[in-house]
Amino acid sequence: MALYKLFSCNLEVTYKSYFLSKAMIFTLFTTIINIILPFIIAYRGRGFWLKSESYFERPAAHFTYDYLLLLETDDPSQPIICSNEESLQNHGEEYCTEFEVKETYCKDNSKTCMMDFKFIINPPLDRTVTSVVLILGLDFQLKATCPLHMQSLAVVTKDFAVPPSGLKYYGDLLLQQVEHLPCIKYSVDTKYNQSLLNFNKGVTDNVVDNIMKSYFERTVTTQVKTFNSRATNGHTGAIDIEVHIRVPEMEILYIPSVLQELKWAWPQYLSLVVVFYWIINRIKRFVFNNRLLMAWEVMPWKK
* Complex with ligand NAG: residue 131 or 193, whichever CB lies closer: 193
Segment (H or E) for 23: helix 22-44
Q: Which is nearer to ligand NAG, 128 or 193 (CB)?
A: 193
Among 111, 118, 149, 246, which residue interacts with ligand NAG (rule: CB under 6 A)?
Answer: 149
Using the rule CB under 6 A, give the single segment among 7-15, 109-117, 187-195, 252-260 that binds ligand NAG: 187-195
Q: Smallest distance from the beta carbon of 198 to ligand NAG, in angstroms?
A: 10
- Residue 190 found at the interface with ligand NAG (CB under 6 A): yes
Instruction: Give yes or no for residue 198 binding ligand NAG (CB under 6 A).
Output: no
Residue (188 or 212) nearer to ligand NAG, CB: 188
Closest contact distance (angstroms) between CB of 185 and ligand NAG is 15
- What are the C-alpha distances in Å from 194 to residues 64, 140, 179, 186, 189? 12, 11, 19, 21, 12
Q: How many residues does the chain have?
A: 303
Q: Which is nearer to ligand NAG, 193 or 204 (CB)?
A: 193
Q: What does the alpha-carbon distance between residue 212 and residue 224 come to, in Å, rounded to a whole number?
A: 14
Q: Is 188 among the residues that bind ligand NAG (CB under 6 A)?
A: yes
187 near ligand NAG, rule: CB under 6 A: no
Strand arrangement of the beta sheet that strand 148-159 belongs to: 80-83, 60-73, 129-142, 148-159
Q: Which of 17, 122, 165, 193 binds ligand NAG (CB under 6 A)?
A: 193
CA torsion 278→280→285→290, rounded to 10°?
150
Spatial separation of the C-alpha atoms in residues 303 and 301, rounded to whole Å: 6
Q: Which is nearer to ligand NAG, 198 or 236 (CB)?
A: 198
* Helical (H) or strand (E) element with 170: strand 164-177
Nearest residue to ligand NAG, scored by beta-carbon proximity: 193
Residue 188 CB, nearest approach to ligand NAG (Å): 4
Nearer to ligand NAG among residue 89 and residue 222 (C-beta):
222
Q: How many residues bind ligand NAG (CB under 6 A)?
A: 4
Q: Which is nearer to ligand NAG, 72 or 139 (CB)?
A: 139
CA distances for 6 relative to 1, 3, 9, 10, angstroms = 15, 9, 11, 14
In 3-state terms, what secondary structure has residue 303? coil
Least distance (Å) from ligand NAG to the CB of residue 183?
15
Contact pattern from residue 104 through residue 143 relative to ligand NAG, giving x for each residue in contact according to CB under 6 A and a dash for the rest:
----------------------------------------
Distance CA 90, CA 82 (A): 8
Residues 6+ apart with CB under 8 A from 64: 137, 138, 139, 151, 195, 197
Q: Which is nearer to ligand NAG, 149 or 168 (CB)?
A: 149
Q: What residues contact 293, with CB distance under 8 A and at least 6 apart?
A: 17, 21, 22, 23, 26, 287
Q: How far is the CB of 196 from ligand NAG (least distance, A)?
A: 12
Q: How far is the CB of 157 from ligand NAG (least distance, A)?
A: 26
Which one-letter amino acid corresponds to residue 181?
L
Which residues contact ligand NAG by CB under 6 A?
Answer: 149, 188, 190, 193
